[in-house]
Amino acid sequence: MGAIWQTDPLVAQTQLIARSLKHCTGRDLWPGIIPARELAEKIFHAPFVVVSHGTKGDPVLNYGNAAALALWEMTWEELTRTPSRLTAEAPNRAERSRLLAAVTERGFIDDYSGVRISKAGRRFKISRATVWNLISEYSQPCGQAAMFDHWEFL
């Protein structure tokens, strides 16, 4: 198998993430108009974190670029089996739930900050994160995504 970002499902997820960000915020995930597979590669190897999850009651992460995998200290297989709530420590999960409810209601939140935890137990604070709703091309909710490029280990 080739690189994970080359697979059709990941190319489609990257397109969904980019299209939804543009719809919700007016901003581009990556500057310029580039082919879908090239966008998937650029986002997967971007110097900022991009993650997303689906719409289930306890949504599982369904995308994380290389920066996200490194930060949460997980393989692709581990990340995509992880309920997104487990990216925060138990005391921070209520705050995370309020954030996601606000995003659902408003479409996106800019300038979010909060403490997260890696698989190995390393705590880190993210800041200036954008969190937005994922919307299908048929205007159906598909989950939520986040991106950020500021974090510090605690």
State which amino acid sits at residue 124.
F
CATH of the domain at 137: 3.30.450.20
What is the residue type of 142?
A: C
Q: What is residue 83's predicted lDDT score, i.e. its pLDDT?
A: 95
**How far is 21 from 25, CA to CA, in rounded Å?**
6
Q: Could you give the angle at the alpha carbon of 125 between the alpha carbons of 20 and 80, nearest 5°?
A: 50
* pTM, entire model: 0.91
Question: Which amino acid makes up residue 114?
Answer: G
Give the pLDDT of residue 101: 76
Query: What's the pLDDT score for residue 91?
Result: 61
Q: What is the reported pLDDT for 93?
A: 67
Residue ranges, the chain, pLDDT below 50: 1
* Structure confidence at residue 88 (pLDDT): 78
What pLDDT, on a 0 to 100 scale, did the predictor assign at position 78? 97
Domain count, the chain: 1
The confidence score (pLDDT) of residue 102 equals 77
Q: What domain range is 55 assigned to? A: 4-153
Distances from the Cα of 122 to the Cα of 69, 72, 74, 127, angstroms: 13, 8, 12, 16
Tell which residue, 30, 10, 12, 33, has the closest CA to residue 21. Answer: 30
Per-residue model confidence (pLDDT) at position 96: 67
